[in-house]
Structure 1
């Protein structure tokens, strides 16, 4: 399992296929972290919270709302506690339900809601989701599998298949679009609607020109590769900030802080997240935890893993590469064959009921023919 002592062993290894600045970032771990030395800050990919506030004020936006994008895991929990201690200010806290979090993440979200109440903090805590695909990643995948829906929003491991020999060759990863589409964008919409309502306006009305937003994202210094911008592409008046990066704090620092204060420490992710690891690649987000605590969720992940390859190989999707949820680019149920064998029969009825419910929901909500 994940420990503070082995966190630095992860160093970006889980995303080696998609990190163009891997050499620079790994070398920076050999020295005291300083985000100001990183090329992404030097090139203006992101700015500090103060710089963002100043830029909004220069635009005449003198009423600025500060928002925490709360994921229920370690880094955003670190920021949450800083807020509860009065070390950082937020006007809103927003949790966006991706529709595929393990139950233990929902339990951690509820734990932090209780803590907020216990300390007497009154900051509005909003729970939201994708505005159209309200069932989140499960619904997106079911659409992709069962209909002509083409957009695939997960960072699966890709491979090319030699149809003559059957050989599999690694071919990188798809972009990590799920964080933007199912976490960050819903947070933006939720706070936008909340502030419009606060000012007596409807959700389809224009934001007053003197209002701006700074939304804090819980990326840590070791995740600086994930930062692509500090400007919302949808809303000119929304900026994205990364306070833990500014504090030069790593994931290990946040976990250490939570452990020292006896707070929950489970990492936020979805039960089918391709960044779940195992064995010597343990980074605190592992398949073993899902298998042990939520066996039905593991079987759902295995089903999705098999189905996305089955559909891709039909040639009906724009996806050219063969997708896998496991970094070894092997079927998930094959990697964990023993565990799968123990669980498959036990939860077969529950899994089949879940599949049938989703097929019915897709047909009813989207009025699409089930084609796959």
Structure 2
């Protein structure tokens, strides 16, 4: 892979991904190492895919592709169903950027295979049906022996894998199978493999847990920004210096909106206040359904890191915004009621004023 030269090399010299425990133990490999190994195995066709999230790091990689520094056969954006509108706007900005470059790489939008409406659908299923999986890294409290609520842990971050990475893999597989005139039920040819670039940065090495895909053994993940020893802030700096969109990708209801490192509830409140009200409603409903005792997860969930109701964390702003968006919230709940009834056969009544 060609080396990027956008930054002062002295910054990169302070970091060396090869010294990380995960690289030394083989949890991940460089793209060049993967290509060499796959070629030695007789893989004549190695497809390169960018898992595009619409945020800072994958946008950095996409710009390198447009400039000819990184090759991709497919650019695939997986819509989680809960991105803020400003992320969708950034995705469209990059589509226009592609046209300006005259780049013709297929740029595809996909989604979760069975839950087309993504994380919102998962949460509504969890709240209103017997669906048990919870794929969000939510903050939890526990009840001690005296019946008091005490600080618990953090649920695993399964949403990125289930709603972003796996849909990208499935879509890449389908596209290649179709290009070869094969049906989805057939096997991938033995001489074919995939390398999917994930936009994790050097500061996110802890998030790297796999090199070979558990779902498709002929697919491998690589992390170009880690190889370049570039951090999230490096990518943000690059985008800002080149007057490109620089908002970080995440969902409007993400518990990590509390990280105070460029992702905040304040940004959601200021730019998408209706989404914030939806998040408050979901936050309240999750604790309500947990109180029924029908879920395998017995912890008390919160979207806010202080483990208090989200609406209480921003009480004054919430009160004003709830009055502003009450009717829109009601319409949104009714729409979901209809969708769940049609798709899952659920019959229920939604109380729309319980967090007023």
Q: TM-score band (shorter)?
A: over 0.9
CA contact (8 A) 1:158 1:171 kept: yes
Match of 1:130 among 91, 112, 117: 112
Q: TM-score, normalised by structure 2?
A: 0.93
Aligned to 1:316: 294
What pairs with 1:319-338 in structure 2 (closer than 5 Å)? 319-338=297-316
> Are 2:217 and 1:236 aligned?
yes
Structure 1: unaligned runs, 5 residues or longer: 1-28
What pairs with 1:71-86 in structure 2 (closer than 5 Å)? 71-86=53-68
Match of 1:67 among 43, 49, 53: 49
What pairs with 1:1-372 in structure 2 (closer than 5 Å)? 32-162=14-144, 167-277=148-258, 282-370=260-348
Structure 2: unaligned runs, 5 residues or longer: 1-10, 351-356
Secondary structure class of the residue paired with 1:68: strand
TM-fit CA distance, 1:85: 0.5
CA contact (8 A) 1:146 1:371 kept: no
For the residues of structure 2 that align with 1:191 and 1:89, how far apart are their CA atoms? 15
* Change in CA separation of 1:32 and 1:310 when aligned onto 2, cut-off 3 Å: same
TM-fit CA distance, 1:204: 2.0
For the residues of structure 1 that align with 2:324 and 2:268, how far apart are their CA atoms? 16
For the residues of structure 2 that align with 1:262 and 1:123, how far apart are their CA atoms? 23
TM-fit CA distance, 1:311: 0.6
Q: In the comparison of the two structures, how many residue pairs are matched?
A: 340
TM-fit CA distance, 1:31: 8.1
Secondary structure class of the residue paired with 2:288: helix
Runs of 4+ in 1 over 3 A off after TM superposition: 162-165, 368-372
Task: Please give the per-residue CA displacement for 1:146-166, whole angstroms capped at 9, x wherever unaligned.
Answer: 01110000000111134855x
Secondary structure class of the residue paired with 1:276: helix
CA contact (8 A) 2:43 2:192 kept: yes
For the residues of structure 1 that align with 2:295 and 2:347, how far apart are their CA atoms? 16
For the residues of structure 1 that align with 2:346 and 2:174, how far apart are their CA atoms? 30
For the residues of structure 1 that align with 2:349 and 2:271, how far apart are their CA atoms? 34
Q: TM-score, normalised by structure 1?
A: 0.89
After alignment, is 174-183 or 197-206 more displaced? Answer: 197-206
CA contact (8 A) 2:12 2:228 kept: no
Secondary structure class of the residue paired with 1:347: helix
